[in-house]
Amino acid sequence: MRRYLLALISFALITACSSSTPMPEQEFVATPITKPENIRLFVGQDLGAVGGLAQYDNGYVDYFGHPAGITIYTSLQSLEGLTEKVNYGAGDNHANLYLQDPGYNGVDIAIGLSLVDQLDKVNSGELDANIVKFAQWMAQSERKIYLRIGYEFEGAWNGYAPESYKKAFRRIVDGLRKEGVSNVEFVWQSSGYEEERDDLLQYYPGDNYVDWIAYSYFNHDPKEAGKEMLRLAREKGKPVMIAELTPRGANLMLDDGKELWDSWFVPFLQHLEDNQDVIGIIAYINALWDEQPMWKGQGWGDTRLQSNLYLSGKWRRTIKREGWETTSTLKQPPIFILPEDYEEQKAARDKMKPNLTGNESQLQAEDAIPRGNVRIYPDSAAVGGKGMAYMYQTGDGLKFENVTQSNYIAVRYATINTGKIGLAVNGSRAYDLTFEGTGSWVGTYDMIEQQVSIPDGADVEIIFESGDSALNIDYVMFDRR
């Protein structure tokens, strides 16, 4: 893909390293790779987008926690952005900042390695010394590296000739293996658009050189995205990475969250479900594209998940519901501060549409049918200034009638207790909702979030029974994909 490094070559310093004879291709028997049990979530693709660092503290990590991995970009020609900061108009990149920050311990790295205008230099051996340097950097990183060699290989914007590309891919892999690098896996990534099997196979380096098969996913048809790459992955027994993922053209800060969730995120989640047998990693690009010079005016938009309250909530619950692997999770994220000209920007965007139907139902506790001792309590920290309290004896509870079909529930609560309370569906206790104390009966809230199975039209009760613990409830959210 061109997004990060199209402008790279005209700026890069050429490393003057040469070899008189090319390295021979090595015989190598690949070890079969098993897809991770759960999808691993990666986030990129620049320091500001990722965040979680002293100098970069308004990115994804600052609102959601550390993902399983992050994405960065470099080229074999210059290895820029690894040991020092670089910016070619697409945000700052400096991989060592991640390695030096304790918060990123255990967070893996997916590297997009550009080979634009470098294939001849790779294949002649001119860049062999950089392969050695790259190997040394990988080894000292002490984490798993997923190396996307010549990513989006068939994209016309890259200009890769198939035979030269395959030869370069193999030379890089052989060179890294020769240096004994054991913490790298090699990724073969297409653009994911309108793929033709025969065209793709012209670029295939061989089973012994590819650990992961990958593609990009932007505004693709979810039934067609990566279709042939997925088929090849199944045939060859390789796991799949969606290496670049973002709703191109959306403006998450200004667009209607429900509409965008339904139109882009839900089809993408269905794409994952349809291909859950092979997809092991997804890498979301959480960037304010329109403010980066390289992408300004190209229609990439603003895909920062934290900038939309509805979408950020859905994303957090999706991570939990789907069981995606991350490194850490923020239970109490900060509030995203909107810019002073937000209303003007929003009016200019002119995309808000009233009365949209979402797939999430947030119900105030005070609107439920109270049981036993339960009654309203006032609290300025509760949504609407009140909630429901005195749920402490057998039979006390809240009943929500005719609930929409849901596979996830979120309950905002306050309590000094740690324990559980029952969730009954159509009169029978079906789940224990477990919770930890918030330190107070009012003012300080936390969320119970749990996967459930509630049929459409069901009556649902939060009910106190013997062995349960008391809590106050602000609201209940019934959610589905």
Question: What CATH number is given to the structural domain containing 393?
Answer: 2.60.120.260
368 in a structural domain: yes
> Is 23 exposed, middle or buried, given 0-12, 13-18 or 19+ CB atoms closer than 10 A?
middle
Residue 474 clears pLDDT 80, i.e. is over it = yes
53 in a structural domain: yes
**pLDDT, tens only, 287-310:** 999 899 998 877 788 999 999 999
Mean pLDDT (whole number) for 98-108: 96
Q: Give the Cα separation of 343 and 341 in Å (integer).
A: 6
pLDDT for 24 equals 45
Radius of gyration of the chain (CA): 25
Q: Which residues are catalytic?
A: 152, 244
Q: Give the Cα separation of 74 and 145 in Å (integer).
A: 13
25 in a structural domain: no
**pLDDT, tens only, 414-452:** 999 999 999 999 999 999 999 999 988 888 889 999 999
Q: Which of 391, 359, 363 is nearest to 460 (CA)?
A: 363
DSSP 8-state assignment for residue 326: B
Residue 406 clears pLDDT 90, i.e. is over it = yes
Contact criterion met (CB below 8 Å) for 230 and 195: no
**pLDDT, tens only, 234-253:** 999 999 999 999 998 889 99
One domain, residues 300 and 397: no
Q: Which residues pair with 177 in a beta bridge?
A: none
Q: Which of 75, 72, 104 is nearest to 91 (CA)?
A: 72
Q: Which of 112, 145, 162 is nearest to 2 (CA)?
A: 112
Domain count, the chain: 2
Residue 233 clears pLDDT 90, i.e. is over it = yes
314 pLDDT band, cuts 50/70/90, is: very high
CATH of the domain at 148: 3.20.20.80
207 in a structural domain: yes
pLDDT for 165 equals 98
23 in a structural domain: no
- Is the four-CA dihedral 372, 373, 376, 382 of positive or negative sign? negative
One domain, residues 153 and 61: yes
Question: What end-to-end distance do the CA atoms of the chain give, in Å?
Answer: 30
Q: Which of 159, 169, 158, 152 is nearest to 206 (CA)?
A: 169
18 in a structural domain: no
One domain, residues 324 and 365: no
One domain, residues 428 and 313: no
Half-sphere exposure at residue 446, Cβ-oriented, CA atoms within 13 angstroms: 19
pTM across the whole model: 0.73
Q: Give the Cα separation of 130 and 13 in Å (integer).
A: 12
pLDDT for 279 equals 97
Q: Which of 7, 100, 12, 18 is nearest to 52 (CA)?
A: 100
One domain, residues 307 and 425: no
**pLDDT, tens only, 108-157:** 999 999 999 999 999 999 999 999 999 999 999 999 999 999 999 998 88
Give the CA-trace dihedral at 26, 32, 34, 40, to 10 degrees: 0
Residue 381 clears pLDDT 70, i.e. is over it = yes
Residue range of the domain that includes 459: 360-479
pLDDT for 394 equals 95
Q: Which of 318, 346, 374 is the last residue of a domain?
A: 346
One domain, residues 329 and 365: no
DSSP 8-state assignment for residue 20: S
Quote the tokens at residue 116: 């634009």
One domain, residues 244 and 369: no
Please confirm whether the linkage preceding 140 is cis (ω < 30° from 0). Answer: no
One domain, residues 338 and 281: yes
One domain, residues 393 and 442: yes
29 pLDDT band, cuts 50/70/90, is: very low
Q: How far is CA 434 from the centre of its chain?
A: 27
- Name the packing angle between helices 309-322 and 266-274 (round to 10°): 20
27 in a structural domain: no
pLDDT for 13 equals 28
One domain, residues 282 and 393: no
Cβ atoms within 10 Å, residue 176:
22
**Any idea which of 10-14, 88-92, 335-339 has the lowest mean pLDDT?**
10-14
16 in a structural domain: no
One domain, residues 233 and 285: yes
Q: Which of 302, 324, 346 is the last residue of a domain?
A: 346
